[in-house]
Chain A
């Protein structure tokens, strides 16, 4: 189908893939730093075992488990795009960097995400025990 929309996506999707990746890296990076701060704050509760177990019970609720799957997606995005950025900076595959964005994002990224998210969904949300 060659509608105006698909033509636009085809044109600008490739052209700005590097720019999109650049902003993805910044936004996901900031999000991960904020998560890291909250995460370390929770670890402080180890000083009080009952508070700690209470916090972990809260975090095992489905909403938080869904959040953890989102976290996995963010981490994979940031890590793979980081590898791509390093390769570009080192000059590896420079002429193919836009294509690499899609290979990394859709190829490796989606597979890694599903490999992590499906067990997390089964164990964490459906509460199925092996």
Chain B
């Protein structure tokens, strides 16, 4: 029975030939962890994505006004969980997506170690940049202001 996983399944024999055999001892545990993390983050994303779709499309305020800057501002300062969940979501999605791209590239066939290292470094840098874009949009954003008790923004810079 031939197993068909995402190419990094620890149960699947390597098809990368000599190079993969040479590095197996050092990469085997890495591959297993990689495989599990891709599954675990995938399961987490399933829950987070359902929440995300619900919040951005079907909540009452979005249905009536459409999504606006003010709604996002009210959410973020009215409920700190929004910030926590959104940033967690961002990081998990980035890991899962970019790690998936890495798996696809590595699965194309014979790839030597310098190439693998280069791909990993480029993807990590891309991930860090995107994570920074996402976090920086909220953190230290002078246009996002705390709310007064009435639930409207204080001293909006607009």
A contacts, CB < 8 Å to B:
18-19, 21-22, 25-26, 29-30, 32-33, 36-37, 40-41, 43-50, 52-53, 56, 60, 68, 72, 75, 79, 82-83, 85-86, 88-89, 94, 116, 119-120, 123-124, 129-130
A43 near B101: Cβ-Cβ < 8 Å: no
Among the listed B1, B69, B101, which residue makes an inter-chain contact with A52, where contact means beta carbons less than 8 Å apart? B69
CB distance from B55 to the nearest CB of A (A): 13
A123 near B46: Cβ-Cβ < 8 Å: no
A25 near B138: Cβ-Cβ < 8 Å: no
B63 near A88: Cβ-Cβ < 8 Å: no
A29 near B100: Cβ-Cβ < 8 Å: yes
Binds A, one of B4-12, B18-26, B112-120: B4-12
A123 near B57: Cβ-Cβ < 8 Å: yes
CB distance from B139 to the nearest CB of A (A): 11
Whole-angstrom CA separation of A29 from B6 in the bound complex? 11
A36 near B5: Cβ-Cβ < 8 Å: no
Among the listed A29, A43, A46, A68, which residue makes an inter-chain contact with B143, where contact means beta carbons less than 8 Å apart? A46
User: Given that A29-B100, A46-B143 are known contacts, is A82 also in contact with B90, CB under 8 Å in the complex?
Assistant: no
New A-B contacts (5) at CB < 8 Å, excluding given A47-B136, A50-B158, A119-B57: A29-B100, A36-B93, A46-B69, A116-B57, A124-B57
Residues of chain B lying within 8 A (CB to CB) of residue A79: 42, 45-46, 49
A40 near B53: Cβ-Cβ < 8 Å: no
User: Given that A32-B97, A46-B141 are known contacts, is A88 also in contact with B158, CB under 8 Å in the complex?
Assistant: no
A40 near B90: Cβ-Cβ < 8 Å: yes
CB distance from B34 to the nearest CB of A (A): 13
Whole-angstrom CA separation of A124 from B66 in the bound complex? 9
Q: Is B98 part of the contact surface with A, judged by Cβ < 8 Å? A: yes
B9 near A89: Cβ-Cβ < 8 Å: yes
CB distance from B70 to the nearest CB of A (A): 8
B104 near A19: Cβ-Cβ < 8 Å: no
User: Given that A46-B141, A79-B46, A123-B63 are known contacts, is A89 also in contact with B11, CB under 8 Å in the complex?
Assistant: yes
Whole-angstrom CA separation of A94 from B3 in the bound complex? 9
30 sampled A-B residue pairs with Cβ under 8 A: A26-B104, A29-B97, A30-B104, A33-B97, A36-B94, A36-B130, A37-B130, A44-B133, A46-B69, A46-B137, A46-B138, A46-B141, A47-B136, A47-B141, A49-B143, A52-B69, A56-B66, A56-B67, A79-B45, A82-B42, A83-B46, A85-B5, A89-B5, A89-B9, A119-B57, A119-B58, A123-B58, A124-B57, A129-B63, A130-B64
